[in-house]
Amino acid sequence: MADPLHDDLDEDLSGIDDAMGLPEGLVRQVLDALDENDTARIEELVQPLHYADTADLLEQLGHGDRRLVVAILKPMLDPASIAELDEAVRGEVLDLLDTEEVASVITELDSDDAVELIADLEPEAQQELLSAVSASERVMLEQGLAYPEDSAGRMMQRDVVAVPSYWTVGEVIDHLRSAEELPDDFYDLFVVDPKYRPIGTIPLSRVLRTVRSVPVGEIMETDRELRTVPAATDQEEVAHLFRQQNLISAPVVDSDGRLTGVITVDDVVDVIDEEHEEDLMRLAGVSEADTFRAVIDTTQKRFAWLLVNLGTAILASLVIGAFAETIEQAVALAVLMPIVASMGGNAGTQTLTVAVRALAMKELTPANATRVIIKEVIVGGINGILFAVIAAAVAGLWFQDLNLALVMAIAMVVTMVVAGLAGTAIPLGLALRGIDPAVASAVFLTTVTDVVGFFAFLGLASWVLL
């Protein structure tokens, strides 16, 4: 019996399928086949799919439907499809496979995908799986797991093409044709010294276009062009290097400088996408996995963030409460007060977004921080003056009170300047202390802009109007 929840899906789901890269209407066809218990039809629908599209299909199904489809597709399920799944869905699918089946999946994946998959398992499940694979595979997995999470060592492929500098191009080509232990896909060959340290790299295209008698040492790119990546390097640093140097692949070295693996651009694209989504989600206190987590898990994750926001809101309310008598005597203040806080919050969010992005792209550093902060303060001041004129005009015409208009104008300028300052200084300060600015910046910024906005507006009102 198929998952009854899917009966509530909109009839226009096929349009979404197509936008996600799946054949139009495929999800609906699979669900209909489940209703009819037509396993042959499901196999017929899924078999032509690219492994990434199969992963998309599984992610779009509900829990019950996914379990049924996985049970049907087990004999033909591409291990690469499992590697492409979101972490939460992948764990659910792996729970449907026994240890031998998971071990079979592991052995067919590239080393980087295999390490990522096993890293998501619980320690007991990891040990059980490691005991089920071959000794060579186990050593490879254990070495990969020994590297820090989100490091170059975790994301690298351990299968590389390494040749000595004294080989000729002909010897290299013969090696590539006869060797059994080679990566399925590669773009560069790495030239190594007797200690297996990379000393140069050769694009595969250059090998194919050079006559056989030429030594590879004469056509390799030297140390000046070679970009090695220490295995402990954070994956964001790796992505930055690839983006900055326009690399297709880069050798990964251990603490002694020996070649241990290679990172290719397809892995870096995944990292860039993952880091972008992670930063975007963290700014709102959510995560990508919320789409696939159970209701209770998602609620728990969001509750902590909302609780922090409640605390900051209470702090802003305490500022308002301190001026309760002022507000009682001038009701217009209660009407205009949200305008100041809202403008400050929006201006701060603009600056914060630019700053977090600049930090991620290595464009905002301690070397240029002062210049960037001054610029944002000036921008905030100019916008503050412009909007002060508009807000003062609105307040003056609305309540026929020039003093109230003056208070509105000054508070607007103060709030916008502080928003520009806080929007840059807060994420920069967090980054300098080793805290991800995408996680906590928004909460601090909201608190600062609300408190300063309310205090400036109500404090000036108490002084000028009463």
The 10s digit of each residue's pLDDT in 117-137 is 888 888 888 888 888 888 888
pLDDT at site 195: 93
β-sheet bridge partners, residue 190: 162, 201
Query: Which of 14-18, 31-35, 183-187, 365-369 has the highest mean predicted lDDT (pLDDT)?
Result: 31-35
pLDDT confidence band for 439 (50 / 70 / 90)? low
Span 371-392, average pLDDT: 92
In a domain, 41, yes or no: no
Is the pLDDT confidence value at 219 over 60? yes
CA 369, chain centre distance (Å): 24
Span 364-377, average pLDDT: 87
**Domain's final residue, options 280, 308, 329:** 280
Q: Regarding predicted confidence, which is higher, 306 or 320? A: 320
Q: Are residues 255 and 311 in the same domain?
A: no
Is the pLDDT confidence value at 59 over 60? yes
β-sheet bridge partners, residue 261: 252
Q: What's the burial of 212, exposed, middle or buried (CB within 10 Å: 0-12/13-18/19+)?
A: exposed
pLDDT at site 341: 84
In a domain, 143, yes or no: no
Q: Are residues 307 and 428 in the same domain?
A: yes
Q: What is this structure's pTM? A: 0.61
The residue assigned the tokens 């013969």 is 174
pLDDT at site 447: 83
Q: Rounded CA gap, 70 and 226, in Å?
A: 44
Q: Which tokens belong to 441?
A: 């910046």
Tens digit of each residue's pLDDT (9 = 90 or more) over 249-297: 899 999 999 999 999 888 888 887 776 666 665 655 555 554 555 667 6
pLDDT confidence band for 20 (50 / 70 / 90)? very low
Q: Which residues of 405-425 are buried (b: 16+ CB within 10 A; e: fewer)?
A: bbbbbbbbbbbbbbbbbbbbb
Residues 6+ apart with CB under 8 A from 410: 388, 456, 460
pLDDT at site 16: 44
**Domain's final residue, options 250, 280, 310:** 280
Is the pLDDT confidence value at 44 over 80? yes
pLDDT confidence band for 369 (50 / 70 / 90)? confident
CA 101, chain centre distance (Å): 30
CA–CA distances in Å: residue 211 to residues 170, 187, 203 = 7, 19, 15
Q: Rounded CA gap, 249 and 267, in Å?
A: 10
pLDDT confidence band for 12 (50 / 70 / 90)? very low
**Domain's final residue, options 280, 312, 330:** 280
Span of 279-283, 373-377, 429-433 with lowest mean pLDDT: 279-283
Span 292-309, average pLDDT: 65
Tens digit of each residue's pLDDT (9 = 90 or more) over 62-96: 888 899 999 999 888 888 898 888 887 888 888 88
In a domain, 94, yes or no: no
In a domain, 228, yes or no: yes
Q: Are residues 220 and 367 in the same domain?
A: no
The secondary structure of 341-410, three-state, reads HHHHHHHHHHHHHHHHHHHHCCCCCCCCHHHHHHHHHHHHHHHHHHHHHHHHHHHHHHHCCHHHHHHHHH
Q: Are residues 251 and 309 in the same domain?
A: no
Phi, psi of 355 (to 5 degrees): -65, -45
The secondary structure of the chain, three-state, reads CCCHHHHHCCCCHHHHHHHCCCCCCHHHHHHHHHHCCCHHHHHHHHCCCCHHHHHHHHHHCCHHHHHHHHHHHHHHCCHHHHHHCCHHHHHHHHHCCCHHHHHHHHHHCCHHHHHHHHHCCCHHHHHHHHCCCCHHHHHHHHHHHCCCCCEHHHHCECCCCEEECCCEHHHHHHHHHHCCCCCCCCCEEEEECCCCCEEEEEEHHHHHCCCCCCEHHHHCECCCCCCCEECCCEHHHHHHHHHHHCCCEEEEECCCCCEEEEEEHHHHHHHHHHHHHHHHHHHCCCCHHHHCCCHHHHHHHHHHHHHHHHHHHHHHHHHHHHCHHHHHHCHHHHHHHHHHHHHHHHHHHHHHHHHHHHHHCCCCCCCCHHHHHHHHHHHHHHHHHHHHHHHHHHHHHHHCCHHHHHHHHHHHHHHHHHHHHHHHHHHHHHHHCCCCHHHHHHHHHHHHHHHHHHHHHHHHHHHHCC
Is the pLDDT confidence value at 328 over 70? no
Domain enclosing residue 240, as ranges: 162-280
Q: Can you give the CATH number for the domain in which 397 is found?
A: 1.10.357.20
pLDDT at site 280: 61
**Could you tell me the end-to-end alpha-carbon distance of the chain, in angstroms, rounded to an integer?**
72
Q: Are residues 244 and 377 in the same domain?
A: no
Q: Are residues 302 and 446 in the same domain?
A: yes
Span 17-27, average pLDDT: 67
Share of the chain above pLDDT 90, in %: 23
Q: Are residues 227 and 335 in the same domain?
A: no
In a domain, 241, yes or no: yes
In a domain, 399, yes or no: yes
Of 176, 250, 178, whose CA–CA distance to 207 is shortest? 176
Q: Are residues 215 and 336 in the same domain?
A: no
In a domain, 345, yes or no: yes
In a domain, 432, yes or no: yes
Q: Are residues 306 and 454 in the same domain?
A: yes
pLDDT confidence band for 404 (50 / 70 / 90)? confident
pLDDT at site 7: 45
Q: Rounded CA gap, 413 and 387, in Å?
A: 8
pLDDT at site 85: 87
Please answer whether residues 411 and 402 qualify as being in contact, where contact means their C-beta atoms are separated by less than 8 angstroms. no
pLDDT at site 306: 63
Span 430-439, average pLDDT: 77
Query: Which of 13-17, 171-175, 363-367 has the highest mean predicted lDDT (pLDDT)?
Result: 171-175
Q: Can you give the CATH number for the domain in which 225 is found?
A: 3.10.580.10
Q: Are residues 313 and 420 in the same domain?
A: yes
Span 203-231, average pLDDT: 87
Please answer whether residues 395 and 408 qualify as being in contact, where contact means their C-beta atoms are separated by less than 8 angstroms. yes
Q: Are residues 239 and 178 in the same domain?
A: yes
pLDDT at site 214: 94
Q: Are residues 337 and 217 in the same domain?
A: no
Q: Which tokens belong to 157?
A: 């492929």
Question: How many structural domains does the chain have?
Answer: 2
Q: Regarding predicted confidence, which is higher, 442 or 66? A: 66
